[in-house]
Structure 1
Amino acid sequence: MADPRSIIDTVNSPSRAPFPVTPSDTQPLPQIPKGIYVGVGGDVTLRGIDGAVDVTYRNLPDASYIAVHAAYVRATGTTAANLIAEA
């Protein structure tokens, strides 16, 4: 049986490589995050890794969290700022 401490990268484990998100209409995120922290509230338009269309999370408050595996965070439609992807 595997040592349970060796299974560190699960959905419930903390982020190991957070990175700032620069929204782009054409460039995918460099890594698929477990979620996205929103420092300054607003709207976030993104596409999930298995999504066929973009969705907009509207009116997010400061210091909120979007629990989504996103492939893209779009510049168009995103008004929130200080986004951190938790990979």
Structure 2
Amino acid sequence: MAGRSSDFAPYFGASAVTANDSTVIPTSRALYVGVTGDVTARLAQGQTVTFKAAPVGVLPVQVDKVLSTGTTATNILALY
């Protein structure tokens, strides 16, 4: 994929994420959480998990969906 030299390379893009139970986003390399809270997401391989009290900063998980049900964190960015 253009711009992706390795999983350890800096992120090359970001987009705001609005938590939604049905919206699928391009699979991220990580999420940035701007305001702490719970993040419920579907991982790239299909499992749905909740990260309780996710701190402000980078959450290094590949997800294709951030669900509104169970997500209280805000100002979330998908990092690519």
TM-score (normalised: structure 1): 0.82
Deviations 1:61-82 (A, max 9, x none): 2x22211110110011000000
Write out aligned runs for 1:1-87 (5 A).
8-9=3-4, 10-29=6-25, 31-51=26-46, 53-61=47-55, 63-87=56-80
Q: How far apart in 1 are the matches of 2:64 and 2:14?
A: 15
Q: Offset of 1:8 from its aligned partner?
A: 4.4
Quote the residue 1:3 is aligned against. Answer: none
Q: State the secondary structure of the residue aligned to 1:39.
A: strand
Structure 1, unpaired ranges of 5+: 1-6
Structure 2, unpaired ranges of 5+: none
Q: Larger Cα Rg: Structure 1 or Structure 2?
A: 1
Identity over the aligned pairs, expressed in percent?
Answer: 33
Extract structure 1 runs of 4+ deviating beyond 3 A. Answer: none
Q: Say whether the 8 Å CA contact 2:3–2:12 is kept in structure 1.
A: no
Deviations 1:16-62 (A, max 9, x none): 11111111100111x211100100000000011112x311000122x
The total of aligned residue pairs comes to 78
Q: How far apart in 2 are the matches of 1:14 and 1:32?
A: 16
